[in-house]
Amino acid sequence: MKKRDLICISCPFGCRLHAEWSGTFEELKITGNRCPRGAAYADRELRNPARIVTAVVRSTSAEHPWLPVRTDRELPKPLIDALLNRLYRMRVEVPVSRGDILIENFENSSVNVIFSSTTTR
Protein backbone atom coordinates (compact mmCIF):
# COMPACT_ATOMS: atom_id res chain seq x y z
CA MET A 1 0.00 0.00 0.00
CA LYS A 2 1.37 3.43 -0.94
CA LYS A 3 0.67 6.56 1.10
CA ARG A 4 1.00 10.28 0.62
CA ASP A 5 0.01 13.36 2.61
CA LEU A 6 -1.14 16.46 0.76
CA ILE A 7 -2.59 19.84 1.60
CA CYS A 8 -5.65 20.78 -0.39
CA ILE A 9 -5.16 24.13 -2.12
CA SER A 10 -8.71 24.42 -3.41
CA CYS A 11 -9.81 26.84 -0.68
CA PRO A 12 -8.34 28.71 2.33
CA PHE A 13 -9.14 25.90 4.82
CA GLY A 14 -6.12 24.00 3.52
CA CYS A 15 -7.30 20.59 4.72
CA ARG A 16 -4.60 18.02 5.37
CA LEU A 17 -5.37 15.08 3.11
CA HIS A 18 -4.12 11.55 3.42
CA ALA A 19 -4.14 9.27 0.38
CA GLU A 20 -3.59 5.54 0.28
CA TRP A 21 -3.61 3.39 -2.80
CA SER A 22 -2.32 0.19 -4.28
CA GLY A 23 -1.27 -0.55 -7.82
CA THR A 24 -2.31 2.12 -10.28
CA PHE A 25 -4.77 4.07 -8.13
CA GLU A 26 -7.67 1.62 -8.61
CA GLU A 27 -8.31 1.60 -4.89
CA LEU A 28 -7.44 5.18 -4.06
CA LYS A 29 -8.73 6.15 -0.62
CA ILE A 30 -8.62 9.78 0.48
CA THR A 31 -9.33 11.03 3.98
CA GLY A 32 -9.07 14.38 5.75
CA ASN A 33 -11.11 16.36 3.24
CA ARG A 34 -14.00 18.47 4.50
CA CYS A 35 -15.69 18.47 1.10
CA PRO A 36 -15.67 16.59 -2.23
CA ARG A 37 -13.35 19.15 -3.80
CA GLY A 38 -10.53 17.89 -1.60
CA ALA A 39 -10.94 14.34 -2.84
CA ALA A 40 -11.05 15.59 -6.43
CA TYR A 41 -7.92 17.67 -5.84
CA ALA A 42 -5.98 14.73 -4.36
CA ASP A 43 -7.13 12.40 -7.13
CA ARG A 44 -5.97 14.85 -9.81
CA GLU A 45 -2.73 15.64 -7.99
CA LEU A 46 -1.79 11.98 -7.75
CA ARG A 47 -2.88 10.87 -11.22
CA ASN A 48 -2.08 13.89 -13.34
CA PRO A 49 -0.61 16.86 -11.45
CA ALA A 50 -0.81 20.15 -13.34
CA ARG A 51 -0.45 23.86 -12.64
CA ILE A 52 -1.17 27.25 -14.15
CA VAL A 53 2.31 28.62 -14.97
CA THR A 54 3.10 32.32 -14.70
CA ALA A 55 6.39 33.84 -15.83
CA VAL A 56 7.96 36.83 -17.55
CA VAL A 57 9.62 37.00 -20.95
CA ARG A 58 12.23 39.45 -22.14
CA SER A 59 11.04 42.03 -24.67
CA THR A 60 12.64 44.42 -27.15
CA SER A 61 11.07 47.38 -25.34
CA ALA A 62 13.35 49.57 -23.23
CA GLU A 63 10.29 50.81 -21.36
CA HIS A 64 8.90 47.32 -20.61
CA PRO A 65 11.89 44.95 -20.71
CA TRP A 66 9.94 42.08 -19.09
CA LEU A 67 6.39 41.10 -20.05
CA PRO A 68 4.14 38.90 -17.88
CA VAL A 69 2.78 35.72 -19.44
CA ARG A 70 0.80 32.74 -18.22
CA THR A 71 -0.65 29.49 -19.43
CA ASP A 72 -4.31 29.61 -20.40
CA ARG A 73 -4.98 26.38 -18.48
CA GLU A 74 -3.13 24.00 -16.23
CA LEU A 75 0.01 22.47 -17.72
CA PRO A 76 1.07 18.94 -16.67
CA LYS A 77 3.86 19.29 -14.11
CA PRO A 78 6.42 17.23 -16.08
CA LEU A 79 6.32 19.90 -18.83
CA ILE A 80 6.81 22.94 -16.60
CA ASP A 81 10.64 23.01 -16.61
CA ALA A 82 10.75 22.71 -20.40
CA LEU A 83 8.28 25.58 -20.76
CA LEU A 84 10.20 27.85 -18.38
CA ASN A 85 13.47 27.10 -20.18
CA ARG A 86 11.88 28.07 -23.47
CA LEU A 87 10.32 31.25 -22.08
CA TYR A 88 13.54 32.46 -20.47
CA ARG A 89 15.39 32.14 -23.80
CA MET A 90 12.82 34.21 -25.72
CA ARG A 91 12.88 37.86 -26.66
CA VAL A 92 9.56 39.17 -27.98
CA GLU A 93 8.66 42.16 -30.09
CA VAL A 94 6.23 44.74 -28.74
CA PRO A 95 3.44 45.82 -28.94
CA VAL A 96 1.49 42.94 -27.47
CA SER A 97 -2.07 42.75 -26.17
CA ARG A 98 -3.40 40.91 -23.17
CA GLY A 99 -4.59 37.49 -24.31
CA ASP A 100 -2.36 37.34 -27.40
CA ILE A 101 -0.90 33.87 -27.82
CA LEU A 102 2.88 33.67 -27.42
CA ILE A 103 3.20 29.86 -27.65
CA GLU A 104 0.43 27.74 -29.09
CA ASN A 105 -0.22 24.13 -28.01
CA PHE A 106 3.02 23.73 -26.07
CA GLU A 107 4.39 20.21 -26.62
CA ASN A 108 0.97 19.08 -27.91
CA SER A 109 -0.51 19.66 -24.45
CA SER A 110 -3.39 21.84 -25.75
CA VAL A 111 -2.00 24.54 -23.45
CA ASN A 112 -1.21 27.99 -24.84
CA VAL A 113 0.98 30.65 -23.29
CA ILE A 114 -0.66 34.05 -23.45
CA PHE A 115 0.35 37.60 -22.54
CA SER A 116 -1.11 38.87 -19.26
CA SER A 117 -0.91 42.57 -20.09
CA THR A 118 -1.04 45.03 -22.95
CA THR A 119 2.08 46.93 -23.95
CA THR A 120 1.83 49.64 -26.56
CA ARG A 121 5.54 50.30 -27.07
CA–CA gap between residue 100 and residue 102 (Å, rounded):
6
Q: Residues 119, 67: contact at Cβ < 8 Å? A: yes
Site string for ligand SF4, 84-113 (x = CB under 6 A): ------------------------------
Nearer to ligand SF4, 42 or 87 (CB): 42
Site string for ligand SF4, 6-45 (x = CB under 6 A): --x-xx-xxx-----------------xxx-xx-------
* Binding stretches for ligand SF4 (CB under 6 A): 8, 10-11, 13-15, 33-35, 37-38
